[in-house]
């Protein structure tokens, strides 16, 4: 097999952390080309271009400060240049930007290229819910796997042990991406049920907002755990950005948008927007009453509902009736 060329489409907190892993892994394997393009949404940082900073200092000083990227990770501002010739495409951007970016990339995708989405989110469509992987598949006409797990980017970049799951309709492609991204401390399981993997990764962000509300309101661990489940939920409800901002929302009198801008330095929350997309779908399907957690997170984030009512929404869960 000729050496495969890899492009990481995205360079935020998670994008940079996964580029660090991929850069190291391709150096150690002759199955991949030694240079990895990383598409960067260009920004000006104190008078310098972010791409220039990354390519000279090998650090994404805005989105993953304090971690050196391997020198073979090349920041590229033009997405069409970044993806040209790539055999493996790793999508890792906030989900609200995916449609536009795919449209820009489309004429430049190499025939036979395959992709993997690390994006946690969903989109809402006239027929209901659309997975981000479906958007990429439809727009670019490529096979697409997903990778989701309890993976807070800074901890992965610190090389702390964690696990993650690749959901792959095409097992062979899932295994190729495992080879690209697995390390001794980033352990990957490949499963065939890609849709479930992706949905869990997306929906946990709404639950994390609920967990942050619980913390901000001063409730104890039992209350918070009432909305918590397995690995990624636990991680996101203790260590994630969604939880942190939601707690600050309760204690600060500022809006979620203000807090996102103040506290995240350009990083993007996925929970509030996902709650809005899920809410629209539930409304269309007359299922609003069946999902009080998702609905109350949406109402607090977007309809001005007092967060102090959050627990009373949960007290009326249909399962409790
Ligand atoms: N950060 C984590 O710990 C983590 C872990 C697992 C999964 N994820 C998921 O990974 C995905 C990407 O998140 P992230 O943490 O890498 O990003 P981020 O939230 O840290 O950064 C936001 C990114 O969006 C880019 N951006 C801003 N405006 C843009 C525009 N108009 N068009 C395109 N890009 C624009 C910024 O340059 C930046 O790279 C999300 O779906 C997130 O849920 C994040
Ligand atoms: O920081 P959050 O809340 O976006 O969560 C990050 C990861 O998804 C946790 O697995």
Provide the 10 A C-beta neighbour count for residue 222: 8
**pLDDT tens digits along 1-54:** 789 999 999 999 999 999 999 999 999 999 999 999 999 999 999 999 999 999
CATH fold for domain 203-316: 1.10.1040
Sequence-ordered list of residues with C-beta below 8 angstroms from that of 3, at least 6 positions apart, any chain: 30, 31, 32, 33
Residue whose CB lies within 8 A of the most ligand 2 atoms, among 17, 229, 240, 249, for a mutation test: 240
In the reported structure, the alpha carbon of residue 63 is separated from the centroid of ligand 1 by a whole-number distance in angstroms of: 9
Mind listing the pLDDT tens digit for each residue in 96-136?
A: 999 999 999 999 999 999 999 999 999 988 888 899 999 99
The closest residue, in CA terms, to atom 12 on ligand 1 is 93
CB burial readout 44-53, b (16+ within 10 A) else e? eeeeeebbeb
* Residues annotated in a binding site for NAD(+): 10-15, 97, 153, 241, 268, 270
Domain ranges for the chain:
4-192, 203-316
pLDDT at 316 over 60: yes
Structure tokens at 147: 């990778």
Rg (alpha carbons) of the chain, rounded to whole number: 20
Q: The tokens of 154 are what?
A: 């800074």
Question: For position 318, what pLDDT does the model report?
Answer: 72
| Fold type of domain 4-192 | Rossmann fold (3.40.50)
Q: What is the distance in A from the centroid of ligand 1 to the CA of 171?
A: 27
Q: Is 267 in the pocket of ligand 1 (CB under 6 A)?
A: yes
The residues that are catalytic are 204
Q: Is the pLDDT of residue 229 over 60?
A: no
Ligand approaching nearest to the C-alpha of 244: 2
Residue nearest to atom 6 of ligand 1 (CA): 151
**111 contacts: CB under 8 Å, gap ≥ 6:** none
For ligand 2, whether the C-beta of 232 sits within 6 Å is: yes
Q: Which residues pair with 143 in a beta bridge?
A: 114
Report whether residue 271 contacts ligand 1, using a CB cutoff of 6 Å. Answer: no
Instruction: Give distance in angstroms: CA of 233 to centre of ligand 2.
Output: 9
Q: Give the distance (Å) from ligand 1 centre to CA of residue 256.
A: 17
3-class DSSP state for residue 75? Answer: strand
**Is there an atom of ligand 1 within 6 Å of 63 CB?**
yes
247 lines ligand 2 (CB under 6 A): no
Q: How do residues 213-227 score in pLDDT, each as one tens digit?
A: 989 999 877 777 777
Please report how many Cα atoms fall inside a 13 Å half-sphere around the Cα of residue 321, on the Cβ side. 6
- For the whole model, what pTM was predicted? 0.92
ipTM for the whole complex? 0.99
36-to-56, 213, 265, 321 alpha-carbon distances in Å: 15, 40, 26, 54
């Amino acid at each position: 097999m000729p050496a495969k060329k890899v492009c990481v489409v995205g360079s935020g907190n998670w994008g940079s952390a996964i580029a660090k892993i991929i850069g190291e892994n391709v150096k150690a394997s002759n199955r991949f080309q030694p240079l990895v393009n990383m598409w960067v949404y260009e920004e000006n940082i104190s008078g310098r271009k972010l791409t220039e900073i990354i390519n000279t200092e090998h650090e994404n000083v805005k989105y993953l400060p304090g971690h050196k990227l391997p020198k073979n990770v090349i920041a590229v501002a033009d997405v069409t240049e970044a993806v040209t010739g790539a055999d493996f495409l790793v999508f890792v951007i906030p989900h609200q930007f995916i449609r536009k970016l795919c449209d820009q990339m489309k004429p430049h995708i190499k025939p036979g290229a395959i992709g993997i989405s690390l994006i946690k989110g969903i989109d809402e469509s006239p027929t209901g819910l659309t997975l981000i992987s479906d958007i990429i598949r439809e727009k670019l006409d490529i096979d697409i796997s997903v990778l989701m797990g309890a993976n807070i980017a800074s901890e992965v970049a610190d090389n702390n042990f964690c696990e993650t799951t690749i959901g792959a309709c095409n097992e062979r492609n899932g295994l190729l991406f495992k080879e690209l991204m697995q390390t001794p401390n980033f352990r990957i399981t490949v499963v065939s049920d890609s849709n479930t993997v992706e949905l869990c990764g997306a929906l946990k962000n709404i639950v994390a907002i609920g967990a942050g509300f619980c913390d901000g309101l001063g409730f104890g661990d039992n209350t918070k755990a009432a909305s918590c489940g397995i690995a990624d939920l636990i991680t996101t409800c203790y260590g994630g950005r969604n939880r942190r901002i939601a707690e600050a929302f309760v204690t600060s009198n500022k809006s979620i948008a203000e807090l996102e801008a103040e506290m995240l330095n350009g990083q993007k929350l996925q929970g509030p927007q996902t709650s809005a997309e899920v809410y629209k779908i539930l409304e269309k399907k007359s299922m609003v009453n069946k999902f009080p957690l998702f609905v109350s997170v949406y109402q607090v984030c977007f309809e001005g509902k007092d967060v102090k009512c959050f627990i009373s929404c949960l007290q009326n869960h249909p399962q409790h009736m």
